Amino acid sequence: MSETASMTSPPGFADAALFEWLETAPAEELDQAEFGIMGFDAEGVVTLYNSYESGAAGLRPTRVLGRSLFGEVAPCMDNDLVADRFAQEPALDVTIAYTLTLRMRPTPVHLRLLQRPGGMRAYVVLLRKGTG
């Protein structure tokens, strides 16, 4: 571990301080999380994509970063349960059971939707069932 790396382990999927950690942790720490992380800007463009999610989804960062999360990367989330909540709720911290269906057989997950006014980005955090 480098001298500049944090000595603490990443928080868990359900940790109350997850949003703060996502906003401040360096990319190396985000890659240590045992769940998927996709962060996106106010226009819905993916600006953060951790290695766990890349491996689980089978999508390289070059196919995800800089693309519309709900239009190109995960159109299966472009609905009332996920995408519309980000548009309608400026402060959001909710966990839902969900099934991913794009480019894969149906995959049950828990999604944690995180957003705060003034935050650097909003987040979809994914926990595959049977992990974490």
Q: Residues 27-39: pLDDT tens digits?
A: 999 999 999 999 9
C-alpha distance across the termini of the chain, in Å? 23
Model pLDDT, residue 112: 98
Q: Is 68 left (phi over 0), alpha (psi -120 to 50) or beta?
A: beta
Answer yes or no: is pLDDT of 9 > 90: no
| Mean pLDDT, rounded, of the chain | 90
Residue 40 bridge partners (DSSP)? 46, 122
Q: What share of the chain is helix, strand, coil (3-state, %, to 5)?
A: 25, 25, 45
CA atoms within 13 A on the CB side of 67: 16
3-class DSSP assignment, residue 98: strand
What confidence tens digit (pLDDT) does each residue in 69-114 have? 999 999 999 999 999 999 999 999 999 999 988 666 788 999 999 9
56 or 130: which leads in pLDDT: 56
For the chain, give every domain's residue range: 18-128
CATH number of 18-128: 3.30.450.20
